[in-house]
């Protein structure tokens, strides 16, 4: 799967990883897009990326108009994110205009403002498809009555849209300002609200919400994004489909170990999700990897996401795709989900194994976020595709059965397996038991894990 956003007929790509999925294809041609948010929310970066990515990825010319930043600072800030705006200008695919507030209006009603005149000339000269106006707040600082400020702004936006390009405008708002409270929002075709996410530990995380998208569907919700050395990266919050009553499938995927196959009547049921929990060193990763390898050999394709390097020598296995993603090294659980979704689209696995997902080791609120944002969407995917999702998680509670029973969210799993030790002083005494298995289980008593398995 190519992660690069792609322009589609009658749509213009946002240029931002993940945002086109939220917009279900991008922006309509000749539409106006308002980015509203507090200072520092990422509006300038997103708008600049919208234009720069159009040049870089699609050869679509663009114009940037700035009232907020000195020219040298603008070029420098863009270069820090990998966008050489000067080089794009030399190629004739970009114009960067720096205007003063007084350029926004003309004292003579019959004359166009300097801003409209310069924008029109630049856009027509290069055939611009994308426009970014950084500093729409300047219209509301003009020494004019409020009604005239609004008229000047609306005239500017109307003439920009008349050029046939997508016009994106950045508007500063006060903290806590409700959507729809600013007059600039009246004529916008799209409104994207940007804000900082104060509820997470990651200091650079922000959130984007689409509050208006005329004529098209969008993915609702607060979508986290971060400004990285490669620019803005957004991870769509795809609302998980409700997992319907499981289809009773006759197909089973062998677990990779004789003991578990015997306990589960042949393996995991197709279309189901399973949880593998246990303390550190109890064999979770080895069991998970064994299942993935066996599935790859027997069904042709399996995906194994592991948090730490796989134990033992690396075993080549045709059909097995592995990727190391540690939960602590992603900005948000939705980044983890996005990366897994990209891999499932590429390899179309019959089995997905997620090793080391923090469902029981973090504060309750964080664990619920991982379950809601990662496990539920992938469990729905497994049910829809007659695949199997196996999730392993660390469990250090002194009474593991009680701890598992207390987590209501874990009831979504069709199968729950618990690893542990028969002798707390003997790390080789690994064992596994079936805590839950819809459709019945041959035996709920612990079974020893043989050395070849553990």
Give the tens place of pLDDT for each residue, 4-30.
Answer: 565 544 889 999 989 999 998 999 999
pLDDT value at residue 1: 44
pLDDT value at residue 454: 47
pLDDT value at residue 85: 96
- The kind and range of the H/E element at 32 are strand 32-37
pLDDT value at residue 204: 73
Looking at CATH, the fold of the domain delimited by 11-234 is given as Rossmann fold (3.40.50)
Tell me the CATH architecture of domain 252-448: 3-Layer(aba) Sandwich (3.40)
pLDDT value at residue 37: 94
Tokens 């979770």, located at residue: 284
Write down the domain spans for the chain: 11-234, 252-448
Cβ 31 vs Cβ 213: under 8 Å: no
Mean pLDDT of successive 10-residue segments in the chain (454 residues)?
A: 55 93 92 94 96 96 88 88 95 94 81 92 97 93 92 93 96 83 90 83 82 90 90 83 53 84 86 92 90 90 89 69 91 92 93 92 79 91 93 80 66 88 86 82 77 48
Report pTM.
0.77
Whole-angstrom distance, CA of residue 263 vs CA of residue 412? 20
What is the per-residue pLDDT across 352-389, written as a single tens digit (0 to 9) for each? 999 999 988 767 778 888 988 999 999 999 999 999 99
pLDDT value at residue 406: 62
- The tokens for 267 are 């393996």
Whole-angstrom distance, CA of residue 295 vs CA of residue 300? 7
* Same topology between domain 11-234 and domain 252-448: yes
Q: What is the dihedral of CA 78, 84, 90, 96, to 10 degrees?
A: -10
Whole-angstrom distance, CA of residue 31 vs CA of residue 139? 20
Specify the 3-state DSSP secondary structure of 175. coil
Up-side HSE of residue 55: CA atoms within 13 Å toward CB?
Answer: 26
For residue 352, what are the CA distances in angstroms to 37, 54, 222, 307, 382? 38, 35, 26, 14, 8
DSSP state, 17? B
């Amino acid at each position: 799967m190519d992660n690069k956003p792609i322009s589609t007929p009658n749509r213009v790509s946002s240029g931002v990883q993940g945002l086109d999925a939220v917009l279900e294809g991008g922006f309509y041609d000749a539409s106006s897009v308002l980015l509203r948010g507090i200072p520092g929310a990422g509006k300038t970066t997103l708008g600049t990326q919208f234009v720069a990515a159009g040049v870089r990825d699609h050869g679509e010319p663009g114009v940037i108009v700035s009232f907020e930043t000195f020219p040298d600072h603008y070029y420098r800030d863009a270069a820090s994110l990998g966008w050489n705006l000067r080089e794009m200008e030399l190629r004739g695919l970009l114009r960067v205009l720096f205007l003063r507030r007084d350029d926004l209006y003309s004292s003579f009603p019959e004359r166009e403002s300097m801003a409209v005149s310069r924008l029109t000339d630049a856009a027509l000269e290069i055939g611009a498809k994308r426009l970014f106006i950084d500093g729409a707040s300047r219209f509301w600082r003009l020494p004019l009555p409020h009604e005239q400020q609004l008229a000047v702004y609306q005239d500017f936006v109307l003439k920009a849209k008349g050029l046939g390009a997508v016009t994106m405008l950045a508007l500063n708002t006060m903290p806590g300002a409700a959507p729809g409270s600013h007059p600039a929002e009246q004529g916008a075709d799209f409104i994207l609200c940007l804000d900082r996410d104060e509820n997470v530990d990651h200091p650079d995380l922000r959130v984007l919400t689409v509050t208006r998208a005329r004529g098209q569907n969008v993915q609702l919700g607060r979508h986290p994004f971060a400004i990285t050395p490669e620019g803005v990266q957004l991870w769509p919050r795809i609302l998980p489909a409700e997992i319907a009553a499981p289809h009773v499938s006759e197909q089973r995927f062998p677990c990779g170990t004789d003991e578990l196959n015997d306990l589960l009547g042949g393996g995991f049921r197709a279309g189901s999700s399973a949880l593998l929990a246990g303390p550190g060193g109890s064999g979770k990763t080895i069991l998970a990897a064994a299942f993935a390898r066996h599935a790859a050999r027997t069904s042709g394709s399996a995906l194994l996401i592991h948090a730490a390097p796989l134990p033992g020598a690396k075993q080549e296995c045709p059909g097995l795709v592995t990727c190391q993603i540690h939960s602590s090294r992603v900005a948000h659980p939705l980044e983890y989900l996005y990366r897994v979704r990209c891999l499932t689209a590429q390899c179309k696995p019959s089995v997905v194994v997620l090793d080391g997902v923090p469902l029981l080791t973090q504060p309750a609120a964080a664990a619920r976020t991982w379950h809601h944002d990662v496990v539920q969407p992938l469990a729905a995917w497994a049910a829809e595709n007659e695949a199997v999702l196996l999730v392993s998680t660390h469990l250090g509670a002194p009474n593991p059965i009680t701890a598992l029973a207390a987590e209501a969210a874990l009831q979504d799993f069709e199968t729950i397996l618990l690893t542990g030790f028969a002798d707390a002083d003997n790390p080789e005494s690994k064992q596994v038991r079936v805590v839950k298995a819809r459709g019945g289980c041959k035996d709920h008593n612990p079974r020893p894990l043989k050395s070849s398995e553990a």
